A and B are shown apart, each in its own frame.
Chain A
Amino acid sequence: MSDVTASPEAPEPAMAPLPGVPVALPPAASRHRSDLVYYGLRNRKLVVGLAVEALFVLAALFGPVISPDNTTAYYLPHLAPSAQHWLGTDYFGHDVFAQLVVGLRESYLVGALGALCAAFTGMALGFTAGYRGGLLDEVLQMITNIMVMIPSLVLLVVIGAYLKTRGILFEGVFIGLTTWPWVARAVRAQTFTLRSRDFVDLARLSGRRAHSIVIRDIAPNMASYLFLVVVLLFGSSMLLAASYDFLGLGPTNVISLGTMMNQSTQWSALQLHVWWWFVPPGLVLTGMVAALLVANVGLDEIFNPRLREQ
């Protein structure tokens, strides 16, 4: 299986918003579930990554509850971090820590929504193109290429202009529906290498429908890969959302990590040296995504013995 790269459209790791997608499929040999658990618990990357991620998830779940302040209370502006205000206050006198834990939630929500939408669209198109091949493949690839050429930022502005308020739901779905192309490409390339295998031929001979072959014979053989794709999408959606929010194109009705950065530049936190306003949101987001990536590598090694350290 190491010659996956032989397909003309090998998955392009650098194409992904978050590259580092595994390039080959794990051997299709049957494995026991207990094996996976055994290697999973012994894999330091997975354990550490998940533990750190769990901390952030807990903060997102319970942070707004334990935070001594809410996001709307007013205090003196630009207070430095202290015991009272753990991360100080911003230009408007709002508590930064309270905003941070609320923003965490929104980031996870956007990430999950974006990942699900992108994974669904990308896989649907990728499987269809890779399995059917021929003209349909060519057409779907063309659609994928066109999708890459559409400037999503401009599209976001245009659609956003028609909406009264832009919410988290809109942002997540938008991100999902614009980032699927690399998923479609990668899934297509993988499907391409699987579709001429004997067991697929056999399934075809037995008269099963195409979609059932894809779901029951092809997808399970790349299940681990698909799982990793979803994890990567999750991280990249959160990062992309931060960029949109930073440009002022994010949700208009909630606080997110990106809108905090946007606000801080608008009210010259840089020039006023109010570092506690813009450093924490980015730092937290870096931690969230990095933990996800590290856990992802751990998973990769578990699914794929060849990547394990020797």
Chain B
Amino acid sequence: MEFTRGIQKFFLWDIVKGMSATLRHMFKKPVTLQYPTERWEPPERFRGFLGLTRDFKTGEELCIGCLNCEKACPVDCITIVTAGKGREMYAKEFYIDYMRCMYCGLCTEACPTTPKSIVHTHQYETPGYFRDDLVYEKERLYDVWEKEVNYTGPRPWGKLFGLRNQEADTRPEPEAPAETAPAE
């Protein structure tokens, strides 16, 4: 045993083995995704840009201006100005500061409406040239959702919104998360 080990050591067996391992890998297919030309499909639950949703039939805004998302946001990137009272209440202005947003998803979890009125879309390429470009106002947040409606990959909210969906349809509707369950 000691002898064979000595022989192996003399003939650089460990180096040879390592080199054969690297040689084997030379013939493997590269795992690189060549980004601008090839695109990766975000998984169903991907947390991309936040968008405000509309009812797919009537086109009504779903947001009821309850300010839950504003309160839940750890970085205070959401600013809402509400108008109306009681059941008439809606968000008159809705700003999301994407320079601050950390895509944690707590705002979507806090949203009490069904379907959710603020969701993470699958968009991830939205840089801006100016800082002001990245503070999204209400119209642009709805635009984000318009783009998402045309998205063809799997979506968690697809069924709820009556959108064409590839895989997510089989999943049962998620229950309202415990934290936002009405306690009052």
A, B in one complex: no
